[in-house]
Chains A and B, each alone.
Chain A
Amino acid sequence: MTWTRRKFGALAGAAGIAAIGVREAKSTTNARVVVVGGGIGGATVAKYLAASGASLEVTLVEPNQRYTTCFFSNYYLAGLRSLESLTHNYETLAQRYGIKIVHEPATAIDPVAKTVTLTSGAKLEYDRAVIAPGIAFKFGTIEGYDQVATQIMPHAWNGGPQTKLLRAQLESMEDGGLFVISAPPDPFRCPPGPYERACLVAYYFKQFKPRAKILILDAKDTFFEQDLFQDAWNRHYPGMIEWLPGQFTGGVKSVDLKNRTIRTKDETFSAGVANIIPPQIAGEFAQKSGLADQSGWCPVDPVTFESKLQPGIHVVGDAISGGDMPKSAFATNSQAKVCAFAIAAVLTGSAQAEPHLFNTCFTILSPDDAVSDAISFEAGAGAIKMKDIFISRVGESDDLRRQVAHAANGWYTAFTHDVFG
């Protein structure tokens, strides 16, 4: 479907979406943007481009019909939310915003011919492309942990089948069993995630398997919001959660799938359930498209999110070398909007907006006790730098924490509406 002023006007009136100045694309035909990856980054870019008022043809390439968020999946592990409530589709993006959705994997991108190739062999031509591939796992860094091993010891660091598998394992674990979380080295998706997972699984254990224990084997010596988590572990789940820093154990070295054991340098742990969250790099499509550098992540211009390695291709989300910006859904959404405005400006010859980069994470310590952080960033000198940071503090009132927990659930509804609705 081709975007027109008339349709845009009607939509802007109906939905209150961004009524950004309408200009014609430079060429006689509409400029084309192909977005590869229908997660938070890809869906946000596609929606904001389509709503930009510029006459653009926006195509979103995503093999799956539905997307299950990884954020808030710890609620599901605790039995507090259904997986269905975390699952979204692309119908509104197609019907309301006129985005062409192609449910087929992309196999390659040609930055010279400016085409994206699909599995069927079909090629999509673009004037600008956006790649939002999320993360991939560095299999092989933990001996014995490969793609097959994820079916025995799930990482559950992508939403969907992996989350479901981990929940099923936790449900069938015997009371008194040990749940081991292997926490990855920096940088990784969702810095508070492994520790929030410990909280919410402990909440589940407390009710149904009160003798069960949780052990976090960390590759790091410190972690984000450490004081808030350790305070919460003591208050809500005393004696249930043990955290061992990398300096004590050297992190997880190998796994034995048959015996369900996990080895560090000096010790072997027998796990009732093992959750191995491996070290991470940018998603596979970025790796094979020459968008990632030696670090495994994609260097980008922080004002436009255009790749520093492949001109005309933009990258947003967890896959980028984000400087001070964490790999989170909120940060991705923020980057995606900046990227969409930058692409619309380039394709219509209008002025570039000043980038606004921000992150907020809600972290659930127990159903009525949540904390948050709010961080602003500035995009200067080729890198994203932190500007102001505000984080919840130990000792806040129960009432405030309850309000934050309530806001967290409201945020999920509004945020996923911003991306998919």
Chain B
Amino acid sequence: MIPNGCRMASFRGLGRLMALSIVASVVALVAHSGRAADTQRGAQLAAICASCHRLDGHDKGIPSIVRLDKNELVAIMAAFKSGERSSQIMHAVALTLSDNDIATLADYLATLPKETKPR
């Protein structure tokens, strides 16, 4: 026979577990919707790049920017923004993007697949 107190304790434990799992679910949901929002923002920011850079990884006169290491892209954009790296167009573009925008963009571009077949 299970002492009443123990049953109560296990109910309390179950309650805590449920509460924790609800918290965890909410955290997961928030994280998921945060990721979705980042992906959406990343895609919209990448649309700016797509006016000059092909996002399928093909490179014909304008460098490919997909699948770059995130930190590398962030550093490149910082160098364009400061003028340390020279390009009139990239300087102008970099000035329109916040550091947060650039980080979101770099995350997004790093996930895009690179096509191998020419198109």
B61: which A residues are within 8 A, CB to CB? Answer: 406-411, 413-414
Which chain A positions have C-beta within 8 A of B37?
A: 21
Which residues of the other chain, B, contact A350 by a CB distance below 8 angstroms? Answer: 40
Give every chain B residue within 8 A of A14 (Cβ-Cβ): 113
Quick one: closest B residue to A411, CB to CB? B52
A408 to B45, CA, bound (A): 22
With A20-B40, A406-B61: A388-B95 Cβ-Cβ less than 8 Å = yes
Q: Does B30 belong to the interface (CB within 8 Å)?
A: no
B51 within 8 A of A: yes
The reply to whether B92 and A418 contact each other, CB–CB distance below 8 Å, is no
Q: Are A374 and B92 in contact (CB under 8 A)?
A: yes
Q: By the criterion of a CB under 8 Å from any partner CB, how many residues of chain B are at the interface?
A: 36
Residues of A within 8 A of B56 (CB): 15-16, 417
Q: Does A211 contact B (CB under 8 A)?
A: no
Size bracket of the A interface? 35 or more
> Contact: B66 with A16, CB < 8 Å?
yes
Is A17 a contact of B55 with CB atoms below 8 Å? yes
Q: Which residues of B contact A408 (CB under 8 A)?
A: 61
Complex interface residues of chain A between 350 and 403 (CB less than 8 A to chain B): 350, 353, 356, 358, 360, 372, 374-376, 387-392
Please report the number of residue pairs spanning A and B whose Cβ atoms sit closer than 8 angstroms. 113
Given that A18-B47, A337-B47 are known contacts, is A375 also in contact with B88, CB under 8 Å in the complex? no
Contact status B89-A372, CB under 8 Å: yes
Cα–Cα distance between A413 and B51 once the two chains are bound (Å): 10
Asked if B40 and A21 sit within 8 Å, CB to CB, the answer is yes
Contact B39 A21 (CB under 8 A): yes
Q: Report the separation of the CA atoms of residues A263 and B49 in the bound assembly, to the nearest whole angstrom.
A: 46
B48 on interface, CB distance cutoff 8 Å? yes
* Cβ contact of B113, chosen from A13, A21, A358, A375, cutoff 8 A: A13
B2 touches A (CB below 8 Å): no
Complex: chain A residue closest to B61, CB-CB: A410
Residues of B within 8 A of A390 (CB): 88-89, 91-92
Task: Pull 7 A–B residue pairs with CB atoms less than 8 Å apart, ordered by A.
Answer: A15-B56, A16-B113, A19-B43, A20-B44, A21-B36, A334-B51, A392-B88
